[in-house]
Amino acid sequence: MGILRKLFRATPTPTADGAFSPSPLAIRLGTSPTTDYDGGVYPTLYTGSNNRILMICTEERNMTMANGKTFSTGNHPVEMGLPMLHLINAGFEIDIVTPTGAPVVIEEWAMPADDADIKGLYRDYAEAFANPGSLAEFVANKMENAGSYAAVYIPGGHGAMLGLPDNSDVGKVLHWAHEQEMFTLALCHGPAALLAAKTDEGFLYDGYKMTVFPDAVDKQTPVIGYLPGPMPWWVGEKLTALGAQITNTKADASCHVDRRLVTGASPKAANAFGRLAAETLLK
């Protein structure tokens, strides 16, 4: 097996801090130098007062797998970037926060090197990613009087499983958004953060239909060296145990809207999810 993995370049790549990024084979199969961004043109832009999006990003990089190895992850640049482009082009402004205000961690190995729109976005937002706001400070001092928000957005990447699902401030923001009839947007592994909305009274999204990156695919990815071992836990399994209904079985471009929750299934859904989110907010 080890010989075959070397032959097909399916061995995860060690990083400087002792973790692993995806193998050359996994990078070739799972990423692309360009995206399917459709240009983000909207004939009518949002002009109301609730024009802000609170984007909650992970500030953690390394995920410890079930076998003890660590996976170098973060926020997926396409899953975060394409929806940002759509929302910005539709007339919304994005406020970037991490749990403590530490820099946003990005899966640099997934950056589409030949995509001018994505590269331009990351240049424009470099300072905001390096110095985001603090979610803890927002919850403590601003949330109750914040009246200019239309949505909370949780981008994808396995990093959404780190520091967000068990963060009480994330849970408070999700309940606040629900009570204020704002939208919640979550893509790929982003719905993992919805687990923070569980309280002693129940799960906020019990009975909601949503699209999520499939556990079945996560269980296959170590074969090609995308992950250095089995996942420590499974997003879909935890969500369904709390009453969520996952509608997709493939890591495809499917998206779904249930009440004020907008979700997308995978990196392939990033453009469609971004457009759906923007058009839903514009309505």
Which phi and psi (to 5°) does residue 64 adopt? -85, 120
Name the active-site residue from 90, 170, 173, 188. 188
Question: Catalytic annotation on 57?
Answer: no
Q: Is there a contact between 78 and 112 (Cβ–Cβ < 8 Å)? A: yes
Helix, strand, coil proportions of the chain in percent (round to 5)?
40, 20, 45
Three-class DSSP category at 220: helix
CA distance 131 to 98: 9
Residue 88 burial (CB count, 10 A) = 18
Radius of gyration of the chain (CA): 18
Alpha helices in the chain (DSSP H): 2-7, 24-30, 77-89, 116-124, 126-130, 135-141, 168-179, 215-220, 235-241, 270-282
Q: Which residues are catalytic?
A: 188
